[in-house]
Structure 1
Amino acid sequence: MFSIYILTYNEELDIAACIESAMVSDDIIVVDSCSRDRTVEIASQYPVRVIEHPFESHGQQRTWMLENIPAKYEWAYILEADERMTPELFQECCQVIQQSEHVGYYAAERVMFMDRWIKHSTQFPRYQLRLLQLGKVWFTDYGHTEREVCEGSTGFLQETYPHYTCGKGMSRWIEKHNRYSTDEAKETLRQLQSGQVNWRNLFWGKTEVERRHALKDLSLRLPLRPLVRWFYMYFILGGWRDGEAGFAWCTLQGFYEYLIVLKVKELKRQQTSATPTPPKPTVPKPIKQTADQTVVR
């Protein structure tokens, strides 16, 4: 058995279904980022623990959760409110933690959009670290999301989980990704100014995660990024095979990239305007002398 953490913020439309899918565990902990809707009220109706903690960033929230909220078991699974635990995934998690070969396990998401699994343009299988041994895994920030830091080796689960990325409506998706693009722009600018592409991982990375991280760093440096991403997702990855939903998904992702590009340019302008222009040195004018003048200095 393992504990299940559920991360929430204004998730009144998703939290009930998420908790009900997680009821396969007898230790469910809802970590809420001070929601302003009925998320906490709805979650409190279930036999779960509900803890509120102000949100700073995705990486910091996860690390704070793992370090400060005691779990019943040595292992834990991290769910977000728009994701679901499945019986098959739960059984596989129980099996791998008995073997204890690794300190963390990645699971692949199935992105559900417009009532359809967007299998092709989402780079499936796209893995996220979800099952972890407490005290062995932490998280750091990367753009609007996080990256894991593991004290030991990691493995991959065969079962997948559904991710209802637009379950709260298109307006909510746009509002959320507008916020995300601000964080992504800051990380993009930092990477462009001080980071570099890990070419070795890009071509010879041992796992999908290593290759994806390197590809992400490379994509930040490509010209016409929004168009490149749309073309890559729709034609190369095969988003056209996902029908109308696939076209809409690829277009939204291209729009998201365009927001990031615009905000990076805005940040650069702000940095330039905030840098004071050094004053020009004052050069004293030469003093003309005539033969019958005495200059006193």
Structure 2
Amino acid sequence: MQDISAFIITYNEEIHIERAIKNAQKYAKDVYVLDSYSTDKTVEIAKSLGANVYQHKFRYHADQLNWGLKNIPFKTEWIWRQDADEYLTDELIKEIDQTLPHTTTNITAFTAPCLRKFLGKHIKHGILPLILLRLFKRGYAQWEDKKMDEHIYVTKGEIGSLKNAFFDDNLNNLSWWTEKHNRYASKEAIDLLMTEYGLYKDTVVNSGEHSAAIRRKKLKYIKMPLFWRAFAFFVLRYIFRLGFLDGKEGFLWHFLQGFWYRTLADAKVFEIKKEHGFDSSKIKTFLKENYLNK
């Protein structure tokens, strides 16, 4: 086992937290849970499994994660940022164990592929693996201060890559999933508008080549017509990238996440624009007063 801490943020994750912590204990010397005052048994379970539990009021993900980096007394050289509904494969754990002892000092972070399970099925078609920066040296990384689609980035050094994957495998039902994505669609709408009107700070962060490519694609997506872009995204993934090969679960994933969710975000963009008479100056004022630096 290498000199790694696991960093998990939670809110009402009793359905996932035992699996997450037991998985983290396979690769991490210490497991830290930053909880947002859960009302279920998340904290009780985490403590019973030996995790170090801290609590902080949740504002938005980037704020919570950066608070954790500043205030949790991590002792290890490396930190793996793990969501409560994620787990590392044994192959990835073995790769980390073999890679870190031979890592040069200029490498301060690593990316790894994130694979998706939906309704218990591995979605193999239609989507490309997300290559996410998750392993980093303590003191060398932080999150962008954004309300949605925030990226972790290194403040110094270079980023290496791990070949084996970890899984995003949420065990909640579809009602929970749709409620969550309704909330996310509101955040996504604001993020789309903030990007469209150039209200974010013009900074370039080092999150790896894959994250940079995603940013470029998102900028192209924003320039496409509302609603049509969501439909085109669904067709690309479900038809041209063969998403239909994953059966009913594949259809539901691509329809709900690739079309419904993005259409809902576009509807909320349209609603905001319509409320302000499609006047860009009024829309900018609304965004600045309600979301910028809030």
TM-score, normalized by length of structure 1?
0.83
Call closer, same or farther: CA 1:195–1:243 in 2, change over 3 Å: farther
**Structure 2 match to 1:56:** 59
- Report percent identity of matched pairs: 32
Q: Displacement of 1:136 after TM fit?
A: 0.7
**Structure 2 match to 1:153:** 158
**Partner secondary structure for residue 272 of structure 2:** helix
Q: Select which of 220, 230, 238 maps to 1:218.
A: 220
The 5 A counterparts of 1:260-271 are 260-271=265-276
Q: Displacement of 1:209 after TM fit?
A: 2.4
Call closer, same or farther: CA 1:122–1:169 in 2, change over 3 Å: same
**Structure 1 match to 2:190:** 186
**Structure 1 match to 2:113:** 108
Equivalent-residue separation in structure 2 for 1:270 and 1:39 (angstroms): 41
Contact 1:22 1:28 in 2 (8 A): yes
1:14-55 CA-to-partner distances (Å, cap 9, x unmatched) read: 111111111122300011122222211221211110111111
Indicate whether 1:255 and 2:260 are aligned: yes
Q: Displacement of 1:195 after TM fit?
A: 6.8
**Partner secondary structure for residue 103 of structure 1:** strand
Equivalent-residue separation in structure 1 for 2:14 and 2:74 (angstroms): 24
Q: Displacement of 1:146 after TM fit?
A: 1.3
Q: Displacement of 1:229 after TM fit?
A: 1.2
Contact 1:120 1:241 in 2 (8 A): yes
**Structure 2 match to 1:10:** 12
Indicate whether 1:139 and 2:143 are aligned: yes
Contact 1:111 1:122 in 2 (8 A): no
1:235-264 CA-to-partner distances (Å, cap 9, x unmatched) read: 122211212211111100200001100111
Q: Displacement of 1:274 after TM fit?
A: 11
**Partner secondary structure for residue 168 of structure 1:** coil
Call closer, same or farther: CA 1:273–1:117 in 2, change over 3 Å: closer
**Structure 2 match to 1:163:** 168
Contact 1:14 1:82 in 2 (8 A): yes
Call closer, same or farther: CA 1:273–1:115 in 2, change over 3 Å: closer
**Structure 2 match to 1:29:** 32
Q: Displacement of 1:2 after TM fit?
A: 0.6
What is the identity, as a one-letter code, of the residue corresponding to 2:23? Answer: S
Equivalent-residue separation in structure 2 for 1:276 and 1:47 (angstroms): 53
Equivalent-residue separation in structure 2 for 1:273 and 1:230 (angstroms): 27
Equivalent-residue separation in structure 2 for 1:227 and 1:81 (angstroms): 31
**Structure 2 match to 1:87:** 90
Indicate whether 1:127 and 2:131 are aligned: yes
Equivalent-residue separation in structure 2 for 1:275 and 1:163 (angstroms): 38
Indicate whether 1:239 and 2:243 are aligned: yes
Q: Displacement of 1:272 after TM fit?
A: 4.4
Contact 1:59 1:139 in 2 (8 A): yes
Number of equivalent positions: 267
**Partner secondary structure for residue 120 of structure 1:** coil
TM-score, normalized by length of structure 2?
0.84
Equivalent-residue separation in structure 1 for 2:154 and 2:180 (angstroms): 29
| Larger CA Rg, structure 1 vs 2 | 1
Equivalent-residue separation in structure 1 for 2:78 and 2:128 (angstroms): 28
Contact 2:133 2:153 in 1 (8 A): no
Q: Displacement of 1:192 after TM fit?
A: 1.1
Q: Displacement of 1:275 after TM fit?
A: 10
**Partner secondary structure for residue 106 of structure 1:** strand
Equivalent-residue separation in structure 2 for 1:156 and 1:62 (angstroms): 22
